[in-house]
Chain A
Amino acid sequence: DAGITQSPRHKVTETGTPVTLRCHQTENHRYMYWYRQDPGHGLRLIHYSYGVKDTDKGEVSDGYSVSRSKTEDFLLTLESATSSQTSVYFCAINGALAGATDTQYFGPGTRLTVL
Chain B
Amino acid sequence: KQEVTQIPAALSVPEGENLVLNCSFTDSAIYNLQWFRQDPGKGLTSLLLIQSSQREQTSGRLNASLDKSSGRSTLYIAASQPGDSATYLCAVRPQTGANNLFFGTGTRLTVIP
Complex-state Cα separation, A104 to B100, whole angstroms: 8
Q: Is the CB of B106 within 8 A of A48?
A: no
Given A42-B4, A90-B44, CB of A48 within 8 Å of CB of B100: yes
In the complex, whether A115 has a CB less than 8 A from a CB of chain B is no
| Chain A window 45-85, contacts with chain B (Cβ cutoff 8 Å), 1 for yes, 0 for no | 10010100000101000000000000000000000000000
Shortest CB-to-CB span from B71 to chain A, Å, is 16
Given A40-B105, A42-B105, A42-B106, CB of A103 within 8 Å of CB of B99: no
- Other-chain contact of A42, B31, B99, B102 (Cβ < 8 Å): B102
Residue of B nearest to A105 (CB): B46
Q: Is the CB of B34 within 8 A of A104?
A: yes
| Chain A residues whose CB sits within 8 angstroms of the CB of B93 once the complex forms | 102, 104
Q: How many residues of B contact A (CB 8 A)?
A: 23
Measured as residues with beta carbon below 8 angstroms from the partner, the interface class of chain A is 20 to 34
Residue of B nearest to A44 (CB): B103
Given A42-B103, A42-B104, CB of A50 within 8 Å of CB of B98: yes
Q: Is the CB of A33 within 8 A of B43?
A: no
Complex-state Cα separation, A48 to B101, whole angstroms: 11
Q: Is the CB of A102 within 8 A of B49?
A: yes
| Chain B residues whose CB sits within 8 angstroms of the CB of A31 once the complex forms | 98-99
Given known contacts A43-B89, A104-B101, what 12 new A-B pairs fall within 8 Å (CB)? Answer: A31-B99, A33-B100, A42-B89, A43-B44, A45-B100, A45-B101, A103-B34, A103-B49, A104-B99, A105-B46, A106-B36, A109-B42
| Chain A residues whose CB sits within 8 angstroms of the CB of B110 once the complex forms | none
